[in-house]
Amino acid sequence: MASNPTAPKPNGPRTILGRGSYGETLRIGEILRKETVGGILLLIATVAALIWANSPAADTYFAVRDFEFGYEPWHLKLSIGTWAADGLLAIFFFLVGLELKKEFIAGDLRDIKQAIVPIAAAVGGVIVPALIYVAVNMIAGSDGLRGWAIPTATDIAFALAVLAVISSHLPSALRIFLLTLAVVDDLIAIAIIAFFYSEDVHLSYLLWMLLPLAAFTLLVQRVPRFFGTHGWAAWVILLPLGIATWALMHASGVHATVAGVLLGFAVPVLRRDAERNKLPASPERPGLSEIFEHRFRPISTGFAVPIFAFFSAGVALGGFSGVGAALTDPVALGIILGLVVGKPIGILLTTWAVTAGTRAKLDPDVRWVDLAGIGILGGIGFTVSLLVNDLSFDVGTLHNDDAKVGILMASVLAALLASALLTARNRRYRLIEAEDRRDDDQDGIPDVYEDREER
């Protein structure tokens, strides 16, 4: 029986960023393919918004974005741009909630020894960019400190779109590390939005919000098979409860996208099979969470997030002079330095600190230059960065527009730098891929799968 090449030798140092479980590798690969498509659609929507916002018909774009509709007594008379940010992004954050719970229940994050590195890297990748942004704005005496969280987010869809364009053969361990880092990054972003960007919180609405949330939770926990096998049931029964939860969360003053995360957390990840004498749940028997992910991810990646990007990314650049003027704003400069410089430094420093503190070592196939490439790729901040920008500065104000320029410039720069570095390593990645294939093809069963069965 073949042995796991990443397993530590007896009494030897623990190896990190090695090959994960076979099932996890397959699952992550499927998610990455879907996110890549989403990243390409996101890029198309962004380019379309920039073209329209800088065309002779620019006034039409901003008029559509700022057009308001909705029921005022329920605090739901919102602009189209706000509906996209607060409403459509709730679908995106619902999937984030599903993915977060899945990672902690059935994914690699359930093992603290495996989870500690990407968790620490994500925390470092949030703290360092925020500190850089604050330092730049304090030194400049800017009044834009409220935007400190803008450069803390990683847009996994855009990052994976970059990998698809450059045809990177990035090893699966690094892809899993990138996705896990982005998932934890999203969790931190959710906490930041909930605690730092909620204003005039009304406790009564929050308490009322618990009723539809509890009903939703009770239903998906008690009869998950019913909702898994009857597609209409989710739309007819669960969707109204989800909308009620969202509306009450919005009225409470807490950002409405947090409702999406709570609803995602409520969905069971693993199923207990009554037909098999109620065997304990296991990662090999997924539950309603995976079914919902398959149903709703196309809506999120193909519609919700691109529409949000279309109405949020549009900014009148004013030519080279306008871009140059925007880049003199400490807000834009802090975002660029935070994403392009702070992200890789934070990710690398914390990863090094964890490996040194636990006396672990990198897998022989992984080099620090590879992690540097992942760190730079993590500097592609877009979807959540644009959302936090709109929460930090009023739409249409100077800081809001300059921040959009900073987010776009930083994301493009990070994409170019990461592409150059990872492309230079592609030859090595192809060799690793070929070696893995030879190992797996010896008996038709991947070594890591054999090891899991053996254990």
- Separation between Cα atoms, residue 321 and residue 305, nearest integer Å: 30
Q: Give the ranges where 197-304 is alpha helix by DSSP (H).
A: 203-222, 224-229, 231-233, 239-252, 257-266, 288-299
* Local structure of 270: helix, strand or coil: strand
What average pLDDT does range 398-410 have in this prediction? 89
- Separation between Cα atoms, residue 203 and residue 103, nearest integer Å: 31
Confidence of residue 94 (pLDDT cuts 50, 70, 90): very high
Residue 362 DSSP label: E
Reported for 350-353, long-range contacts at CB under 8 A and 24+ positions apart, including other chains, are 350/120, 350/121, 350/123, 350/124, 350/125, 351/117, 351/120, 351/121, 351/124, 353/120
Comparing 377 with 212, which gets the higher pLDDT? 212
Amino acid (1-letter code) at residue 240: P
* Residue whose entry in the numeric block shows the structure tokens 């893995």: 436
Confidence of residue 167 (pLDDT cuts 50, 70, 90): low
Confidence of residue 453 (pLDDT cuts 50, 70, 90): very low
- Name the CATH code of domain 15-197+255-419 (choices 1.20.1530.10, 3.40.30.10, 3.30.70.1350, 2.60.40.2130): 1.20.1530.10
Query: What is the residue-averaged pLDDT of the chain?
Result: 80
pLDDT at 16 over 70: no
What average pLDDT does range 426-437 have in this prediction? 71
What average pLDDT does range 44-62 have in this prediction? 89
Confidence of residue 394 (pLDDT cuts 50, 70, 90): confident
- Separation between Cα atoms, residue 61 and residue 304, nearest integer Å: 18
pLDDT at 58 over 90: no
Q: 142's torsion region: left (phi>0), alpha (psi -120 to 50) or beta?
A: beta
pLDDT at 399 over 70: yes
Q: Which of 98-107, 254-263, 331-340 shows the lowest per-residue confidence on average (mean pLDDT)?
A: 98-107
Dihedral over Cα of 160, 161, 164, 168: its sign: negative
Confidence of residue 127 (pLDDT cuts 50, 70, 90): very high
- Separation between Cα atoms, residue 264 and residue 13, nearest integer Å: 37
Q: Which residues, including other chains, have CB under 8 Å from residue 25's CB and lie 6 or more apart?
A: 19, 172, 176, 448
Amino acid (1-letter code) at residue 413: L
Comparing 350 with 277, which gets the higher pLDDT? 350
Each residue's pLDDT tens digit, 236-261: 999 999 999 999 998 888 888 889 98
- Separation between Cα atoms, residue 144 and residue 207, nearest integer Å: 33
Residues of the chain with pLDDT > 90, as a percent, come to 22
Give the distance, in angstroms, between the CA of residue 202 and the centroid of all CA atoms in the same chain. Answer: 28
What average pLDDT does range 65-75 have in this prediction? 84
Strand partners, 362: 16
